[in-house]
Amino acid sequence: MCGIIGFAGREEAAPILLDGLARMEYRGYDSAGIAVRSNQWGLQAKKSRGRLERLYELTHGGKDLDGPLGIGHTRWATHGEPNDCNAHPHISEDGRIALVHNGIIENYMEIKEKLIREGVRFASETDTEVAVQLLAYYYKQCGSMLEAVGKVLHRIEGSYAFGIICADYPNALIAARKDSPLILGFGEKGNFIASDVTAILKYTRDVIYMEDGEIAVITADSIDVFDQEFTPIEKKVNKIEWDVSAAEKGGYAHFMFKEILEQPEAIRKTIAPRIRDGKIIFDNFLITPEELKNLSRIYIIACGSAYHVGAICKYTWEKLLRRPVEVCLASEFRYSDPLVDKNTLAIIISQSGETLDSMAALREAKRLGARTLAIVNVVGSSIAREADQVLYTWAGPEIAVATTKAYSTQLILMDLIGLYLGDLLNTISKEDYQIILRQIETLPEKMRACLSKLDDAQYLASRHFNHNSIFFIGRNLDYAMGLEGSLKLKEISYIHSEAYASGELKHGTISLIEPGTLVIALGTYHALFDKAMSNVVEVKARGAEVLAITTESYRERMEKIADDTISVPDVHPILQPSLGIIPLQLFAYYVALQRGCDIDKPRNLAKSVTVE
């Protein structure tokens, strides 16, 4: 999705803006631009469709735009096709104001028509241009940029994070936010605005999270935040703990590959602070044991891969808690008139903490009285701040669009919470609690063992990268894991792929199996291994080629039927998907590599989906 950076400092802004935009490339974009205020030339802007390299070339690495104050943007088209003209920053007709925007201005048509009647000429098809033209219109009337910004914010409807510079204000950058993330950063050589912390991590770790309705004025030496009536607000400065190198490729060909390899460490960091003296500890957990007993419903709500974590937890939590657990897609939950009351626990899982549908679902659950718990990776993100309680995954920055380490840390954190709640409810024996907990602690090592067998996945990918369609089949936890395996494959390799509950094959899907069809059969769930084998036999009888994933102890049996078998270490069944997913991630990665796909930035996808 779109990215914003802004800099007010004591050195040239353009190279810093370009660097910040490059660090947000992973979010997905189709055009980019920067605007800088120069003492000599006033506002100068350069924009271009396509990759950032073009903008680098156009500006000679930023050297063509001089001045220490500027804004930059990567756009993901919503209103108007991706072209130079629709790219941000947008400039007012008189050339004195430049503005970048994330979000959507819903009443832009009505305002645009009014401004056209007033004689304003528009250069683009975007909703954003309305904001800058309206700002220029008010600015002409009142002569104060801040007052004009206030008027614009009152007039527009929708969501926004704005960065604004004006030719008449050589030192100040203005920012405003509503329903679209924006942070302010204190740097040594100047101060920043950014929609994503990775854009400015190289320059600062001290940030302020802007809240909805706030306006900020940023200069090289100060950051002042106000409410919409311009009353100053005292803001807390937060320290970002992320390691800069974690957001860099560090010699790897792709972020996705690096992040797959980082999983053992990521889950270790997520687990370690929560286990003390053989017990799971969540300080001040939002539900007391008494309240837990009265819970009528648990919802797990999320999108995409995070939803697939929920799909696994439906099986594991119902075993651990002996309570019904509903898993909902956030985009469906928000419109489904959900059965939520004060005895409902709604758990929102989101890596970015900014996914619009998940955010809307969280607000809906809160409005209906639920207790809300967020499982989030990005510290200080919107979902993290709005939920009653947040538990962070400690995956570090995830840059590849296709999630791997965030997924794994979400899963392990949910395992820990499930076990913790099962213990509080006494629905799991002390003995099982200890067995599972001890096995959780062995997972990083076992994951490393899975990752040491890269070659198997690589070899199988080299044999199978030419398929047009691939099916994943499995039962129970294997089915839920297959949903994620299939999503990984399709999103980065563009091969059509679906995951089916094996028992459903006979109810229709089996008609798709023909000689040569590749079926990835998941047989890591021991309780249903014999059934999984029957399904393998069934698809083989129709000519399918079968690549099986199973555990070491079942490998021999699987090898007798499947064409190829990859095995992962055995672990408690509840935890098995944490290991089973590794070969599926690797297979997807190597298939995409063979097909020459843009692995870290798959077509049409964005890292954080902040529109509906």
Please report whether residue 325 would count as binding ligand F6R according to CB under 6 A.
no
Q: 581 in helix, strand or coil? A: helix
- Helix ranges (H only) for 93-201 are 108-117, 128-142, 145-155
Strands 42-49 and 69-75: unpaired
Count residues contacting ligand F6R (CB under 6 A)? 15
- Using the rule CB under 6 A, is 270 a contact of ligand F6R? no
Q: How far is the CB of 354 from ligand F6R (least distance, A)?
A: 7
Could you say whether residue 393 binds ligand F6R (CB under 6 A)? no
Window contacting ligand F6R (CB under 6 A); options: 52-60, 256-264, 348-356, 446-454: 348-356
> Of residues 46, 112, 258, 607, which has the active-site annotation?
607
Using rule CB under 6 A, residue 124 touches ligand F6R:
no
Q: Does 382 bind ligand F6R (CB under 6 A)?
A: no
Q: Closer CB to ligand F6R, residue 91 or residue 483?
A: 483
For residues 501 and 471, is the Cβ–Cβ distance under 8 A? no
Out of 28, 163, 304, 396, name the contact with ligand F6R by CB under 6 A: 304
Check residue 303 for interaction with ligand F6R (CB under 6 A): yes
User: Which of 92, 331, 355, 535 touches ligand F6R (CB under 6 A)?
Assistant: 355
Q: Does 600 bind ligand F6R (CB under 6 A)?
A: no
Q: Which stretch binds ligand F6R (CB under 6 A): 23-31, 200-208, 240-248, 298-306?
A: 298-306
Determine whether 607 is an active site residue.
yes
Is residue 128 at the binding interface for ligand F6R, with CB under 6 A as the rule?
no
Query: Please, what is the minimum distance in Å from the beta carbon of residue 1 to ligand F6R?
Result: 10
Q: Which residue, 304 or 482, has its beta carbon nearer to ligand F6R? A: 304
CA separation for the pair 582, 457 (Å, rounded): 10
**477-516: contacts with ligand F6R (CB under 6 A):** 487, 491
Considering only 159, 358, 524, 585, the residue that binds ligand F6R (CB under 6 A) is: 358
Q: What is the rounded CA–CA span in Å between residue 607 and residue 350? A: 11
Report the distance separating Cα 339 and Cα 321, nearest Å: 20
Residue 524 binding ligand F6R, by CB under 6 A: no
Does position 111 interact with ligand F6R (CB under 6 A)? The reply is no
Cα separation, 111 vs 131, in Å, equals 9
**Backbone phi, psi, residue 611, to 5°:** -125, 165
Crossing angle of the two packed helices 477-493 and 304-321, in degrees rounded to 10: 170
Residue 302, strand partner residues: 329
Identified binder of ligand F6R from the candidate list 5, 402, 522, 558, rule CB under 6 A:
402
| Shortest distance (Å) from residue 373 CB to ligand F6R | 15
**Which helix or strand (DSSP H or E) is residue 420 part of?**
helix 405-425
The DSSP output letter for 444 is: H
Q: How far is the CB of 587 from ligand F6R (least distance, A)?
A: 15
The arrangement of strands across the sheet holding 496-501 comes to: 496-501, 469-474, 518-523, 545-551, 564-568
For 576, the 3-state DSSP assignment is helix
- Which of 2, 313, 328, 450 is catalytic? The answer is 2
- Judged by DSSP in three states, 354 sits in coil
Reference 207, options 249, 19, 229, 199; nearest CA is 199
What is the residue type of 303? Answer: C
Task: Report the nearest approach of ligand F6R to the CB of residue 26 (Å).
Answer: 11
CB 185 within 8 A of CB 194: yes
Select from 106-114, 303-311, 448-456, 549-557 the region that touches ligand F6R (CB under 6 A).
303-311
Phi, psi of 222 (to 5 degrees): -150, 155
Q: How far apart are CA 99 and CA 166, in angstroms?
A: 9
Contact segment (CB under 6 A) with ligand F6R among 25-33, 165-173, 346-354, 428-436 equals 346-354
Q: How far is the CB of 492 from ligand F6R (least distance, A)?
A: 8
- Choose the binding region for ligand F6R from 75-83, 347-355, 560-568, 585-593 (rule: CB under 6 A): 347-355
Residue 407 C-beta: closest distance to ligand F6R, Å:
7
Nearest-angstrom CA–CA distance, 596 and 188 = 41
Which residue in 48, 351, 517, 565 binds ligand F6R (CB under 6 A)?
Answer: 351
Determine if 126 is a binding residue for ligand F6R (CB under 6 A). Answer: no
Alpha-carbon distance 85 to 370, whole Å?
Answer: 45
Structure tokens at 369: 């009285």
Q: What angle do CA 438, 440, 445 make, to 5 degrees?
A: 100
Q: What are the phi and psi torsion angles at 15 (to 5°)? A: -65, -35
For residue 2, indicate whether it is catalytic. Answer: yes
Task: Please pick, from the candidates 331, 350, 476, 550, the single residue that binds ligand F6R as defined by CB under 6 A.
Answer: 350
Return the active site residues: 2, 607
Binding site for ligand F6R (CB under 6 A): 303-306, 350-352, 355, 358, 402-403, 487, 491, 608-609
